Structure 1
Amino acid sequence: MATEPEREEQVRSEASWTSVSPSGLWEVHRRWEVERKQGDDTPLLGSICNIRVRLKSHTEDNTQPLSSDEPVLGVSDGAVQVTEHPRSQDSVLQVPLDRWIVLRMGEGQCDIVESCLEGMRAGEVCEFTVRPHEQDLKMAPSPIHAARLEKTGKEGETNSECFSLQLHSFTPGKESWQMLPTEKWTWVLSYKQRGSQRFSSGDIWGAMHSYCCAVKLLITLKAHTKGKDGIPDVDGTRACHNESDLNRQTETKSTGIQTEEYRTMKAELHSNLSLCQLRLGQPAKAKDSSSKATALDPANFKAWYRLGQACLQLEDFAEARQAFGKVLELQPGSASAQNALKQVNAKAKEFDSKLGQRLSKMFT
């Protein structure tokens, strides 16, 4: 009978998840076919990793470690410069193949590769396959997805590609719980900036992923925000009851993260998420995100406008009118909101007309 660690290792030997690239969603499956190395050190947020990715054929012997046929860049001192490669919708992976490169965990050069590196140990090689996500194919296939579908003829027969990933070495990183609040805040700002850059370049899936990463990390800062008087403001409770509270108050005063600043940042991230979701044809998710944004920051007119757009697409005309009306309160004379209200009224009239026709046919 396998021991508990052995059972845990067996579970970790294969894993599947969904990752993003500029071309859309991809189903990723990672596995090891060789004995795992020992140790707990694995790449974490901020780790600089020296890696090599290769495209594998199905007939290749996957049990032998990849040999190095070129110099390996050392990352032990952390001084090596990370090279950025332009992200493109024409590529599944956003890194060059068949040569050693250096990337930093968390910077999102290739979300698929970064996810594969989680849990790897120095010197290990894993194999992973990627294929277009079926739901993404049905929603709005990107050119690269459409090309794969055309090549195979059927969604269920879409070709998958198999890669090998070799991790030579990496520098230490940190789990989120190991970070100081100021470090987390820096990462949140970095994720937000990267999301905006990706959105501007048309990388909507990548932008949404960056904003999601920012929100997840920002949530962990809730206990470290403070009011204008410098006293921690956690879920409306501002009193210190024990030594732990006093320690947290002392730490909070050194972070400089105001409660209002925290709420505004969270609202902006949810608002940006809603815009991405609208562009990707996900109005229900966009409504949820923009509703969170308006609740956090009622003065965020962009969030109200995006809430109105989502409700319009969902044919929730009453709420759409209310949202666009709120935009006009915050931005009197907004041409966009006025035109949107006209569109809501026209769509509602068309909807009522069609409904009336259907009802008349039922009773004639």
Structure 2
Amino acid sequence: MTTVHVPERQVDHNPAETSWISACPGGLWKVHRRWLGPRPKGDNTPMMGSLCKVKVRRKSENTSHTSSDEQESIANVDCSMQATSYPRTHDSVLQVPLDEWFLLRMGEGQCDIIEGCLEGMKAGEMCEFTLSAWDEKNASAICSDATIPQTESASGQQFLCFTLQLHSVTSGKESWQMTPGEKWTWVLSHKQWGGQRFGNGDIWGAADCYCRAVKLAITLHGQTQRNTKEMSQEGVEEDNDNSLPSSDAKEEDEAESSSDSSIPTEEEYKTVKAELHSNLSLCQLKLGQFGKARDSSIKATELNPKSTKAWYRLGQACLQLGELDESRMAFEKMLELQPDSASARSALKQVNSKLKDLDSKLSQRLSKMFN
């Protein structure tokens, strides 16, 4: 969850309490988690791709294990099940149903807060977590939900209290355990979810998806398919190699081709990675993170110098930061690629007007100094 540019989650499975910053559709929230009761033994904890059977409750209710809890949750989750479909909304901090068992797939980003709380948990375990608005401007609308009880700390800050119970969990993988093809599938899925969330006005959620995709894409560096020329040259060499019977060689080639089918070529990898950085920069522009939007746009233009969207967003970010020369360069570059762009021409005109005003003011100051 980096590149949304919030502090990294502190990864330490031993402390009784830990805190981090998570994003929901309405903004950023500080999460504080603590374990409830003795911790079970074992190392089967949720990882990427794990399907988790969980229940979230308001802290004001009775959260201890009861016989009714066990009766309503007899069956363990298995890999054939599907994650619970639940629409993300600005009207709630948590993007999951409350007071009922549901299935959540780790890594899909349905609710960043719950995924963070599940990290390091074991089947049958419970934790308590509290939420406080990281940006108070985002808190007022979300906390207006009267169905969620609010508690006031000694400092007067409002926070929300919940408990999370993990019933059972399927196996998953850490990113370093995944094959390049598995990673690429996740990258494309996050990119698609990011576009859907952006279209629904869920800017924080879209940024989170693009960040997850970028993090995985970085680990694929150097693991893309070899380019067509290298593959065809090797094909000629293999045709001249008589060490294997023709039928065996054919089967081996087919198996290798099949295993590589989900791995991107270097060109595909750079194109998608450039689009991710460009899309992330748009989210950051809308969130007012202009410095980060500039950095993301620069990465996009380096990966794909012909991306007009990336150059335009770089120009917008630099304009907001007052970096007028850099902004003008970006808009001029976009016009080289797309001469009929009215938006780029209008933006360039705005930049030139600001530069002219600055030159005029500088001339006036110099005139006063020498008169």
Normalised TM-score (structure 1): 0.82
1:337 aligned onto 2:344: yes
Alpha-carbon shift at residue 71 of structure 1 (Å):
2.1
> What RMSD over aligned residues (CA atoms) do the two structures have, in Å?
3.0
Distance 1:363 1:301, change over 3 A: same
Tell me which residue corresponds to 1:170: 169
Q: Partner letter of residue 141 of structure 1?
A: N
Q: Does 1:17 align with 2:20?
A: yes
Give the whole-Å Cα distance in 1 for the aligned partners of 2:318 and 2:312.
Answer: 10
Match of 2:317 in 1: 310
Unaligned runs of 5+ in 1: 1-7, 233-249
Structure number with greater Rg is 2
Residue 145 and residue 343 in structure 1: after superposition, are their counterparts in 2 closer, same or farther (change >3 A)? farther
> How far apart are 1:225 and its partner, in Å?
1.1
Q: Hey, what's the Cα distance between the residues in 1 that align with 2:264 and 2:315? A: 31
Counterpart for residue 107 of structure 2: 106
Which has the larger displacement, 250-259 or 353-362? 353-362
The Cα shift of 1:96 comes to 1.4
Structure 1 pair 75–181 and aligned structure 2 pair: CA distance change class (3 A): farther
Asked whether the equivalents of residues 152 and 158 of structure 2 are also in contact (C-alpha less than 8 Å), the reply is: no
116 and 343 in structure 1: CA distance in 2 versus 1, 3 angstrom threshold:
same
Q: Structure 2 vs 1, CA of residues 166 and 307 (structure 1 numbering), >3 Å: closer, same or farther?
A: same
Corresponding residue of 2:40? 37
Using the TM superposition, give the Cα deviation of residue 74 of structure 1 relative to its aligned residue in structure 2, in angstroms. Answer: 3.3
The question of whether the paired residues in 1 share the 8 Å contact of 2:92 and 2:142 is answered with no
The code of the aligned residue for 1:275 comes to L
Aligned residue identity for 1:217: L
**Structure 2 unmatched ranges of 5 or more:** 1-10, 232-255
1:70-97: per-residue Cα shift (whole Å, max 9, x none)? 6227344322332211111110101111
- Distance apart, 1:226 and its partner CA: 3.0
Range that drifts further, 343-352 or 353-362: 353-362
> Does the C-alpha gap of structure 1 residues 143 and 195 become closer, same or farther in structure 2, counting only changes over 3 Å?
farther
The 8 Å contact of residues 51 and 165 in structure 1, kept in 2 or not, is answered as: yes
| TM score, norm. by length of structure 2 | 0.81
Output one character per residue of 1:289-326: Cα deviation in whole Å (capped at 9) or x when no partner.
00000001101110000000001001111111110011
Q: Is the 8 A contact 1:23 1:143 kept in 2?
A: no
Q: Give the secondary-structure state (helix, strand or coil) at the position aligned to 2:336.
A: helix
What is the match of residue 179 of structure 1? 178
Deviation at 1:176, TM superposition (A): 1.1
Q: Deviations over 1:177-229 (max 9, x none)?
A: 22111111110000001111111111101110110000001111113113323
Contact 1:13 1:32 (C-alpha < 8 Å) held by counterparts = yes
2:138 to 124, 136, 141: 141
Count of aligned positions: 330
Instruction: Please name the residue that 1:237 is paired with.
Output: none
Q: Which residue of 2 aligns with 1:225?
A: 224
Rounded Cα–Cα distance in structure 1 between residues aligned with 2:42 and 2:143: 42
Among 285, 288, 294, which residue is 1:278 paired with? 285
